[in-house]
Amino acid sequence: MSINKLLKPEKIVVIGASEKEGFGGDTCRNTIEIMDKGRYYFVNPKRDEVFGEKCYHSVLDLPEKIDLAVICTPMKTVEGLIEDSAKMGAKGAVVFASGYGEVGTKEGKDREASLKKLCEKHGVSLMGPNCAGFINYIDKVSSFAFISNKRDRSGKVGFVSQSGQLVLSMMDRPGTGFSYVISSGNSKIVTMEDYLNFLVDDEDTKVIAMYLEGVKNHGEFIKALDKANRIKKPIVILKSGKSEKAQQIAASHTGSLSGSDKIFDALFEKYGVIRVDDLEELISTSQAIATLGEMPRGSKLASISLSGGETGICADLGEINGIEYGTLSAETMRALKNTIPPYASPNNPLDITASLSYDIDKFATVLEILMEDSNVDMVSVGYTLLDEIADNAIYYMYEAMKRISKEEWAKPMVMVPFAEMSRNVDYVDKLKAINVPVLPSAQYAFKIISNLLKTSAYSYSDNEFINLNSKAFDFGKTGEKISLSEYESKNFLSERGIKIDPCRLAKSEEEAVQIFNEIKKKSGNNNAKVVAKVDSKDILHKSDIGGVILNLKTEDEVRNAYNTIIMRAREKCPDAKINGVQIAMMSKGGVEIIIGVKNDRQFGPSILCGLGGVFVEIFKDVSLKIAPISKREAVGMIKSLKAFKLLNGYRGSKACNIDSLADLLVKISEIAIQEKDKLLELDINPVFVNEEGVSVADALVVLNR
């Protein structure tokens, strides 16, 4: 199947052409407006003419072969029309009709399966069903079914959405420009992954924007993200499904299955994807990237405003959004002091005062001074641009920015308004022409600036351990879940190269004493202490039933602990199968960390690291990454934790062995990939981390049988 026949056809036919409002009429209006005559035909058995254009009674009556059929008729007619269109050479089809798999009925699913089988038989690339079509602004092709105001929308953003209405909302936003807008609908033949791949390869698309509800072919999706990442083509995604309710809506809307939302966060982070929270941020981030002549080459911002109040807002919003204001050099500070008024102070963010906005030369000089500083990668200019321009300051500022933008050494600039209102369109276009995007108001603007700077700071080499062979995405089928006991879990890890402190399972009090003495002998320490723990896969929270007794240092204490634990387990968990009592060397202790594995049904294993012990559920201080991970990624995970201060030496405590913890994360990551068909979940909690290294104190393994 050829996606080019779908998205880049030479000849199209609109079937169900009409002059009425609705899919048939509105598709014809868009087609006439956007496409050249001779590239499209209209078909309706009841009409001879539509909007003054000849209308054929059947696809089979067309005078020449066509590439794409746009079907605006009800579901019951669709398959016959695809048959006829295929006879006339069509290898692409857009189907608007709904009532297929998205409604969840047996009839709908059967109809969808039948449609898919028919398209596969004829090699037809299908958009939909239940979609709104697309517009290719590069080749001037339209199959879009929704009407919007007339204006030039050509640009560099390729937008694909699983919602047709969101496509219309993007198009209706003033100032937006696109290479393609695509409403994918149910994506039964051509999927979101296919559209993404197409846009990654498309030379006319500078940035890709997506509204995503779910992913069907996770392997192809990841490969597309990886390819975009390698060629540094930015992808901005609005992914729904953060809430349980949103996941339910997504499933019923397009039949997609939403993966775990945090897995998507980890996936996007790994491949440098910008994830946004709403449509405004999606529009503004993607359009800003398209407008900029080039992306910033680093992550440090310099901000210029005309008042102290605006400067204070910039300082606060910068910190809230994790923006790093570059520390200006002494030379830069001196140059600024000699340029701005004597009552102003050089700083970053910078208040240049309103007087400089009326002086083209001085305003340009300030921009030049900041851009020459190696600690500045982008400059934001604060100014609230009005629809009716009353203050001439903006004209002088524009001339200064225009002058600077022509210089080879110029760095990217953005304009930040401080209040949301209509903008002077002509002036926005003038700024756009010199590659300066006008962002939405400051609250959004600084979030968008953060998106741009984080993307620029991302390096593919930061994630050097990315495995994209086809088997990496073959996770097998989920069967019955089997939880191992702690002792069995530790053996599972030990057999795969993870060092476990001395530990054996006792099935009598005498055996417990024997193990205790053996541990003391091997440790070479007569004062060695052990811990006794109940071992049962039916008792996951051992401490809750008093099934853990610490600091045992004599035979009598070990014997009493064994009997006490067995008694408590039988009393409080009478149905549990008790394997025995673990006798293990007491760990030295340290900062308690959790390391985990979650095998997602779409994207496979991910690795979790966070503050462990009893605090894991309270503080939820965790970092998550898609496996496999590199040593660099592991260190990054550790440093991203709020608990890193504890690990790095806090208030006089010794710094922990971060290197050993990172090595353990990498090793667990390797095991997760090697055992991806078997290992569903893994909790190692706690891992004690101290200045000497790491110690695995407890583990839970859940397998797929």
The pTM of this model reads 0.89
Mean pLDDT of 96-116: 93
pLDDT at 462 over 60: no
DSSP per position, 654-677: PPP-HHHHHHHHHHHHHHHHHTTT
Q: Which tens digits make up the pLDDT trace of 475-485?
A: 555 567 888 99
CB count in 10 Å sphere of residue 51? 14
Distance between CA atoms of residues 91 and 11, nearest Å: 11
- Domain 502-585 fold is Dna Ligase; domain 1 (3.30.1490)
Angle at 392 between CA 388 and CA 398, to 5 degrees: 95
Tell me the pLDDT band of 133, cut-offs 50, 70 and 90: very high
Average pLDDT for the chain: 91
With a pLDDT cut of 70, the percent of the chain lying above it is: 94
Per-residue confidence (pLDDT) for residue 86, from 0 to 100: 97
Tell me the pLDDT band of 522, cut-offs 50, 70 and 90: confident
Per the structure block, which two tokens stand in for 128?
């939909």
Per-residue confidence (pLDDT) for residue 464, from 0 to 100: 55
Q: Which tens digits make up the pLDDT trace of 293-337?
A: 999 999 999 999 999 999 999 999 999 999 999 999 999 999 999
Helix (H) and strand (E) counts in the chain: 23, 30
Domains of the chain by residue range: 1-131, 148-291, 305-456, 502-585, 591-704
pLDDT at 166 over 50: yes
Per-residue confidence (pLDDT) for residue 106, from 0 to 100: 93
Fold matches, 1-131 and 591-704: no
Domain 591-704 sits in CATH at 3.30.470.20
Query: Rounded to 10 degrees, what is the CA torsion of 305, 310, 313, 318?
Result: -10
pLDDT at 574 over 60: yes
**In the block, residue with structure tokens 């072919």:** 217
Angle at 347 between CA 344 and CA 349, to 5 degrees: 105
Tell me the pLDDT band of 433, cut-offs 50, 70 and 90: very high
Distance between CA atoms of residues 674 and 376, nearest Å: 44
Per-residue confidence (pLDDT) for residue 258, from 0 to 100: 34
pLDDT at 463 over 80: no
Per-residue confidence (pLDDT) for residue 420, from 0 to 100: 85
305-456 maps to CATH 3.40.50.261: yes
Per-residue confidence (pLDDT) for residue 615, from 0 to 100: 78
pLDDT at 87 over 80: yes
> Which residues lie closer than 8 Å to 168 by C-beta, 6 or more apart?
132, 146, 148
148-291 maps to CATH 3.40.50.261: yes
Per-residue confidence (pLDDT) for residue 599, from 0 to 100: 87
Q: Which tens digits make up the pLDDT trace of 180-233?
A: 999 999 998 999 999 999 999 999 999 999 999 888 888 899 999 999 999 999
With a pLDDT cut of 90, the percent of the chain lying above it is: 79
Tell me the pLDDT band of 254, cut-offs 50, 70 and 90: very low
Per-residue confidence (pLDDT) for residue 461, from 0 to 100: 61
Tell me the pLDDT band of 492, cut-offs 50, 70 and 90: very high
Per-residue confidence (pLDDT) for residue 39, from 0 to 100: 97
Q: How many residues does the chain have?
A: 705
Domain 1-131 sits in CATH at 3.40.50.720
Q: What is the DSSP letter of 648?
A: T
pLDDT at 257 over 50: no
pLDDT at 636 over 80: yes
